[in-house]
Structure 1
């Protein structure tokens, strides 16, 4: 029987509850250091932003401060809230293929006009379809992402890889074509934007959690093959 570690409760615990399984770490330390076996084609990766315009806060941020300063008004990157080493061990390429390799996953371009869906076994997706994306060809690794959209508030945590975010407040609709990829938008539209029309942007790395408020427009771009978790709040 595996036991979870008991940790002091903080204001964040209900929002970012991780069940820590220390036994899962054994034998996987090398794999964790090598990005869980997911990292491929670093040389093809798009670049990070020149300047991250999202504030970073650590575990000293109180619940009251979060509500007052960020919950309804602006994004924030949270780090050092909890350890995710055990969860990382469960999300290595080897472990996920072992556990879910025969499961069927559904692929789409993930934008407003995506109607065609493709169902494939997870193992086939990883071994044959997981490759970098360019502007003209859809891929499943670095260069992929979700075009601009909005919904309720949420958290996104990176487990492996790096994920670049572009965000606009609800009152400022970004200029984009929903039929084009984020990579294409970055190459063709982003350079033409004036300073005041640039998005709020940042790149989050393993162990960091991005919070974005309700109805904020956002698009994402995976700079590497990335494993991440998003939690949307009702």
Structure 2
């Protein structure tokens, strides 16, 4: 897909080309600050951003799912909030053969997937066949990125969701006991070319995440929850209109974390994620992800017995209606977990940053850090309003077409709804 000087920018295509018009509609809707085609590659990252695997220090441990039991995983990694890369957690996944460009085109070519949000917070969707054409030829600095939380609703229970299985370590997701319509978005189909990615963020409500890479290579950087947000910002002097992009972060902010004067307690972890590997991101960790090649992945956020006290604390304070319903169901189905909720001191500080303390977005993921946003685990975030609610709809809130902007740039009929 990456062919150096042979690569052609789709925006240099014939202006009468229907595809180019639809692509520009999606681009300008997703990122109105980039007002001309030239703005999309003004930083020339296609030529000067290092996407080599050698650029990654890769200093996070790896384990084999076939050799590490659930109890051992909890003891060594989940309970200690230690990031880890898991091998052999994707064995026998149909996604390996079903999620190739050829198969995706044949099965879902006319389905629309979310590639961003407009300035009012409504989803911008683009047909898969058009996206694949863009994906193969873009020289944008930070390309559009499919990061779709409603892929199950759109492709059906026999669609993409049938192509993977939740790894055993993460099967007991306590948010499964929350009312479906109130549960924040938690699973995403993720697809993008080199340089697309997810800006720096912390996942919502103290949840942890797993990210299973089916095809391609991703570069990760993770930093402890204690790192002040201001230390992780990209300066507007460096990237005036690209401060929230993953590629900008690695180009301009990452070098700060490697300097001798960077505090030892803020030490950065790095991962070169290979096809077939699954990354575990404990709640509270800052993380940023950039694709080094064309990639396809699936990611989910979850609440477990281990992280429940923190997740409950943040949910009860920030999402009281969700918390009340969730607690009632837990009392009936998992009374031992409801008992843990009873012991959580909601007036105390958890010591773990999350959604309302982080702020990032990405044209790639169009994610936000509100309690209602998506995770990219690669996790896809946005400044919340007072009380933890957002000033506009969550960047990857699930919808069924209402309130979204289609690839032609035409607004579908919008419905007023609460931010989840």
Question: Normalised by the size of structure 2, how large is the TM-score?
Answer: 0.42
Judge conservation of contact 1:132–1:143 (CA < 8 Å) in 2.
no
Q: Which position in structure 2 is the counterpart of 1:66?
A: 73
Structure 1 residues 76, 133: closer, same or farther in 2, change over 3 A? farther
What SS does the aligned partner of 2:130 have? helix
Please give the residue correspondences for 1:135-150 in structure 2 after superposition, counting only pairs within 5 Å. Answer: 135=141, 138-139=143-144, 140-150=192-202
> Structure 2: how far apart are the matches of 1:54 and 1:82?
19
The structure whose residues are more often helix, as a share, is 2
Name the residue aligned to 2:95.
Answer: 87
In structure 1, the partner of 2:223 is 168
Whether 2:107 is the aligned partner of 1:99: answer yes
Rg larger in 1 or in 2? Answer: 2
After superposition, the C-alpha distances for 1:91-134 in whole angstroms (9 at most, x for unaligned) are: 11111111111111221279xx9947532211111113554555
Which whole-Å deviations, capped at 9, do the CAs of 1:190-225 have from their partners, x for residues lacking one?
A: 223325345211011111111111121111100001
Measure, in 1, the Cα distance between the counterparts of 2:99 and 2:143: 24
Could you tell me how far apart the structure 2 residues matched to 1:157 and 1:219 are? 15
2:212 is the counterpart of 1:157? yes
Let me know the Cα RMSD of the aligned residues: 2.7
CA distance in 1, matches of 2:3, 2:299: 24
The answer to whether structure 1 residue 191 and structure 2 residue 243 are counterparts is no
* Runs of at least 5 residues in structure 2 that lack an aligned partner in the other structure: 5-45, 145-191, 235-241, 304-420
Q: Residues 173, 116 of structure 1: CA spacing in aligned structure 2 closer, same or farther, 3 A cutoff? A: farther
After TM superposition, give the deviation of residue 183 of structure 1 in Å. Answer: 0.9
SS of alignment partner, residue 94 of structure 2: helix
Inter-CA distance 228–63: structure 2 relative to 1 (3 Å threshold): same
8 Å contact kept, 2:200–2:244: no
Per the alignment, in what secondary structure is the counterpart of residue 91 of structure 2?
coil
The number of aligned residues is 192
More strand by share: 1
How far apart, in 2, do the equivalents of 1:192 and 1:209 lie? 27
Matches of 2:302 and 2:219, distance apart in 1? 21
Q: For residues 132 and 205 of structure 1, what CA distance do their matches in structure 2 show?
A: 23
**Match of residue 204, structure 1, among 258, 273, 292:** 273
- After superposition, the C-alpha distances for 1:133-168 in whole angstroms (9 at most, x for unaligned) are 554x54551011010111211111111100111111
Shift of 1:82: 4.4
1:47 to 27, 52, 55: 52
Q: Which residue of 2 aligns with 1:11?
A: none
CA contact (8 A) 2:212 2:278 kept: yes
Highest relative contact order (Cα 8 Å, sep 6+), 1 or 2? Answer: 1
SS at match of 1:157: strand
Task: Find the aligned partners of 1:186 and 1:120 in 2 and give their Cα distance.
Answer: 27
- What SS class does the counterpart of residue 108 from structure 1 fall into? strand
